Amino acid sequence: MLCGGERFDLARTGLARTERLNGWMFIMPALVLLGVFMIYPILWSLWMSFQVGRGMNLSFGGFANILRLTQDPVFQRALSNTFIFLIVQVPIMLVLALIFATMLNDSKLWGRSLFRTAIFLPCVTSLVAYSVLFRSLFLADGFVNDFLLGLHLISEPIPWLADPFWAKIVIIMAITWRWTGYNMIFYLAAMQNIDRSIYESAKIDGVPTWARFWYLTVPMLKPVILFTSVISTIGTLQLFDEVNNIPPNAGGPSDATLTLSLYIYNLSFRFMPSFGYAATVSYVIVILVGILSYFQFMVVRDKRR
């Protein structure tokens, strides 16, 4: 016969087993959905990246698609354009977001709620709608050229969407306009959680405003800055809507705004379908995201001896 303690242990063991079973039953629907709509497509795309052929007539080609990457001038153009947007636009956007957050964190600023809303509002607008708006603004006879001509700042219309250089500038301005407010909200929320007594002590000690910002605010925002830089990097590497909708010809002129994501779309749906090669290009983005995120973590990590 079992004593009272042994019966209690058996009951507790059975209850624990039942709780684990119930827990798995609750999360099983979510796990099934993740497996069907996330894990399976990832594994299938990885296998497809080794396939060659047109349309659905695919066959295993080994590393042929990887070799094709090194010989594809369009891919190289898309890669260089993507890096230009990444290197130029992301730092400008994050610096502006940090400046706006610092200004709007001032409790003495009149109408700061209105300014916060106005700066954040672009990131909730439709991607396609604001892209079409930017296209109409920067046409040769659009509002921007008419405005600059009216102020006599230019003598002839600037070919914003017909010149490769100016087309990149328009894309950079459009992305910055839309996403600066998004990053600003993260910085603003983090600043409001900083103890005000730290700034008051520094002010009493005679620390100037720029030093309080550089040596107090920025170090304490390091985790948030890392987060925004990583998500901004990922978003820029996946840039699609703006370069597809703002130029009159998607990725134009002369592939000057073609990005990796738009090239994947072209390979899959606009040209003769090459799904295997498109999957290979998509994994270039995956590798770049991993490498750049790793380096960003290394740059901001705490250097301890």
pLDDT in tens, the chain (305 residues): 445 555 555 556 666 677 778 778 888 888 899 888 888 888 888 888 888 878 777 778 778 888 988 898 999 999 999 999 999 999 999 999 999 998 888 777 788 888 888 888 888 888 888 888 899 999 888 899 999 988 888 888 889 988 999 999 999 999 999 999 999 999 998 888 888 888 788 888 787 878 888 888 888 888 899 999 999 999 999 999 899 999 888 888 888 999 999 999 998 888 778 888 888 999 999 999 999 988 888 877 765 44
Give the alpha-carbon dihedral of 224, 226, 229, 235, to 10 degrees: -90
d(CA 164, CA 236): 19
CATH number listed for the domain at residues 74-300: 1.10.3720.10
| 76 close to 85: Cβ distance less than 8 angstroms | no
Q: Tell which phi-psi region holds residue 213, choosing left (phi > 0), alpha (psi between -120 and 50) or beta.
A: alpha
> What is the residue whose two structure tokens read 């405003």?
209
Residue 66's pLDDT is 87
How is residue 271 written in tokens? 């040209």
Q: Which residues contact 158 (CB under 8 A, 6 or more apart)?
A: 144, 145, 148, 166
For the whole model, what pTM was predicted? Answer: 0.85
The distance from CA 57 to its chain's CA centroid, rounded to whole angstroms, is 34
299 to 93, 99, 229: CA distances (angstroms): 19, 21, 12
Please report which residue ranges of the chain form alpha helices under DSSP H.
4-34, 40-48, 64-70, 73-104, 112-120, 127-137, 143-150, 164-192, 196-204, 209-212, 218-220, 222-237, 241-245, 260-265, 275-300
What's the distance, CA 26 to chain centroid? 33
Residue 219's pLDDT is 84
3-state secondary structure of 1: coil
Q: Are 289 and 238 in contact (CB under 8 A)?
A: no
Question: Cβ(20)–Cβ(12) under 8 Å?
Answer: no
**Cα 265–Cα 293–Cα 33 angle in degrees, nearest 5:** 60
Name 60's bridge partners: 51
Q: Coil, helix or strand for 51?
A: strand
CA 94 – CA 123 distance, rounded (Å):
14
The pLDDT assigned to 248 comes to 84
Q: What is the pLDDT of residue 2?
A: 45
How far is it, in rounded angstroms, from Cα 20 to Cα 26? Answer: 10
